[in-house]
A and B are shown apart, each in its own frame.
Chain A
Amino acid sequence: MIDVTYYLLVGAILVVLGLIGFVTRRNLILMFLCTELIFQGVILTLVGFNRYWLIETDGRHGLEGQAFTVFLLVVAAAEAALAMALVMILQRQKHTLDSLAYAEMKG
């Protein structure tokens, strides 16, 4: 029986890695992948909590966490499609994936 703490720990590590990657990387694809990493961290946390509540309360709680996960996956997939399309357009504009190339869009 794996303690819930480990789930949360792995989830938190994934989120933080994603955040660090998003802030430090300049390649648009990699930044996008980092957001996916944050997503996975959150999903893992949800699954971990769901499991914890199932055990602790002797099944008096349902599978809300799991259900959320499914929804989140759908949202993530939709977001991925959109984001990839945006990245494609940006790439066609400037033939580069460097996010600094778009710094001129500042207000």
Chain B
Amino acid sequence: MDSLSSWIWLIPALPFLAAIIIGIFGAKTLKENSHIPVIAGVAGSAILSLIVLFKVNGDNSSDTLTATIPGYDWITVGNLQSLISAAIDPLSAIMLAMVSVVATFVVIYSKGYMSGDPGFFRFFAYLGMFVASMLMLILSDNFLMLYVFWEAVGLCSYLLIGFYYNKPSAAAAAKKAFVVNRVGDFGFAIGILLIFLNFESINFQEVFAMVPKMAADDPGLMTTIALCLFLGAAGKSAQLPLYVWLPDAMEGPSPVSALIHAATMVTAGVYMTVRCGAIFTASPTAMAVVAVVGGLTAFFAATIAFAQTDIKRILAYSTVSQLGYMFLAVGVGSATAGMYHLYTHAFFKALLFLSAGSVMHAMHHHIDLKVLGGLRKDIPVTHIAFLIGSIALAGLPYTAGFFSKDAILLAALNHHSLSWVGWLAVITAAMTAFYTFRCYMMTFWGPRMVPSDAHDIHESKWMNFSLIFLAIGVFTVAYAGAGKYEGAYGGWFGHFLGQSASVQQYTALVHDDHAYSHGQVALISGVIAVLFVLFAVIMYAKGRGFAEKFTNNPLHTALLNKWYVDELYDFIIVRPLRWSGKFFVGSDNNIINGVIGIVKITPNAFGVAFQMFFQRGIVSSYALSMLLGLAIMVYYAMKSMQ
């Protein structure tokens, strides 16, 4: 591990340096070349991350599996000791590799997507900053460092959602993301404070080592801590009831949606939940909450995705839904399945978003299915990429989504008390297959529709490059976790991840007595996926006329309006807050300022009195007061000399 410690910090440092370079030279010197430092930096950290992955994989000695590489003694106050240290274990190695590899393709794509934009350099500076923060978040070995970079990725997300800041909807979406995340982060902060108060440490390994003793003493406390942490995870990973920011976050540029709001940042909540396995597994209540919230979110978001017509919004709701799957997996004790789905989802959802971005690029920033359709001949590469992403998301047999979703369904259906969530997840899988292909069919098949202001329909070669490589990636990563490896299901991925201490906390919970076997679950989900994909294909093959017959009912209207959740939140939270804000502004202006006014008048009155008596503009009066002052000074000087 010594060899790692010398360069592990390069992984976050390279994108950070790139961001700094662009921050300094971007506006004046680099301009349209601003992508070069970021592509170089992110690609560099991708290569280093892969080396870390292979190193951790190749070396099975116990110190490799949980290595802590000290960096910098950041805060030491009393019991609080927060070091900037890197924790390297299979879990963080996998995440590092996933984030940096996906980020590499996204930044290459962004060169094509963003070229010509006046904020070109700004975009790449933010992107570099984001990648650096995300990698630091993954490397964290204590809660404070995790929290700091948790907020840093949130900040980058805010800046990038609001990238087109002169567009009111983008500015509002950025604000919404920030505020909703604040609710989650409040819980997260309380959780961390509770941990520090009770464990007197914020270091992961120290805290996790103490958890069994603490859980025996005070099980309620562990549940509270776990639920507080989960609130943070629900905010960042867009779970019920805090998912509302993610669909709006699609106002940001498409590469941002792909990288931050599909592949990396939104999975930070899942990563944190898995990382804190010791805490979550200590509380069966918290585990059940995680599983149920995950399952319900998966179902709920999938229903909304049915009726949406904005491609990116459909994908956003599907992201919320898939994140729900991950939490469901973690909640029923299969952290491996959750992480595996996170891993495959990162690739195929990034691919889908980048394809959607490519559609947008070709269609002159139109992404609404009402105005476009039948584009398969106009943008062939995008079409194939979107198709590959769709079959993976729909979970057609032997694709990435199939293997990972199967693992989750298997774990959920075999759970001793929550198998109903598992059946809900099966229904959700059917819905996923349908809405994914609804979106695909409407975009690429049926009669050709092109918005009137879209001229010069083309694909960019930078974008196609990324699409092709990500599509290959989607196929490749699928087999990392498929089948058996050394006699156990979960493939190489499951075997490798199972070596992480955090994941072992979860695997220890799962029993071997299966109600449903691998084969049965694979059959169920495979058949369902194929059936519903076919259903969608048949329904939309001849255009939209048939499907539109079903749109004229209250259910469709409710779905189209996202179950009116935004309106509900507006009514019960936003408006009361706004009223109370107005009330407090009024009381501040009238009452508090009045009190302050009295304080302000006092010195003024003194000044006026002084002016009236001494500052009259008469030279001799000035001379006299000077003389008196001099006399007093001389008097005291002489008195003190005696």
Contact = CB atoms under 8 A, between A and B. Distances in A.
Contact of B616 (A22, A24, A26, A103): A103
Nearest to A105: B617
A22 B615 contact: no
Contact of A31 (B615, B617, B619, B624): B619
A106 B620 contact: no
Contacts of B615: 106-107
A99 B627 contact: no
B618 interface: yes
Nearest to A19: B627
A23 interface: yes
B601 interface: no
Contacts of A22: 620, 623
Contact of A102 (B617, B623, B627): B617
Interface residues of A, number: 15
A17 to B, nearest CB: 13
Interface string A81-93: 0000000000000
A27 B37 CA distance: 79
Nearest to B614: A106
Contact of A106 (B617, B623, B624, B627): B617
A23 B620 CA distance: 5
A23 B617 contact: no
Classify chain B: how many residues form its interface, as a range: under 10
A28 B1 CA distance: 91
B623 A104 contact: no
Contacts of A24: 620
Contacts of B616: 103, 106
Nearest to B624: A23
A99 B384 CA distance: 96
Nearest to B620: A23
B616 to A, nearest CB: 6
A80 B557 CA distance: 96
A23 B618 contact: no
A100 interface: yes
Nearest to A31: B619
Nearest to B618: A103
A99 B622 CA distance: 12
Interface in B614-642: 615-620, 623-624, 627
B618 A100 contact: yes
A19 B631 CA distance: 12
B608 to A, nearest CB: 13
Contact of B627 (A23, A105, A107): A23
A71 B615 CA distance: 34
A38 to B, nearest CB: 11
A25 B471 CA distance: 101
Contacts of A107: 615
Interface of A: 19, 22-26, 31, 99-100, 102-107
24 contacts: A19-B623, A19-B627, A22-B620, A22-B623, A23-B620, A23-B623, A23-B624, A23-B627, A24-B620, A25-B620, A26-B620, A31-B620, A99-B619, A99-B620, A100-B618, A102-B619, A103-B616, A103-B617, A103-B618, A105-B617, A106-B615, A106-B616, A106-B617, A107-B615
Given A19-B623, A23-B623, 10 more contacts: A22-B620, A23-B627, A24-B620, A99-B619, A102-B617, A103-B617, A104-B617, A105-B617, A106-B616, A106-B617
Q: Which 3 A/B pairs are nearest by Cβ-Cβ distance?
A: A106-B617, A103-B617, A99-B619
